[in-house]
Amino acid sequence: MAGMADPVTIAIASAVAGKAAESLSDQAKQAVAAISRRIREKFRGRPAEIATLDAASGDHAKIPELANLLDATGAADPEFAREIRALWAQVSLTAADEGTVNVFRGKADKVIQMRDVHGDLTIN
């Protein structure tokens, strides 16, 4: 699949792969679980797509592949794209109210993402 998925789709793929779920509230986790269920329903009977979904859960380097697959699936089925984006809006709204969702894309030796640091902070 050529091209790069848009940032929203990458964030959805990251959350579905479990890479952002630790920092989410219970309500946001429920929305991510609903997105995951909807994606699995859509991919039912399509072993290659299920394999891509499962691979992203085990290997964060596969998240862009999952995001591209979600983009392609959404382009072929706009209603599916609307559904998962509507569910993602629930995650985003909840995160805005209750926490932070960090999504890192790219290559780096070290990545630090944080919120609400109180007091001193030294990074060496």
Q: What does the pLDDT look like over 95-108, one tens digit per residue? A: 554 555 566 656 76
Is pTM beyond 0.75? Reply is: no
Question: Which helix (H) or strand (E) covers residue 86, if one does?
Answer: helix 78-98
The three-state secondary structure class of 9 is helix
Quick: pLDDT tens for 14-58. 888 876 656 667 777 888 889 999 999 999 999 999 999 999 988
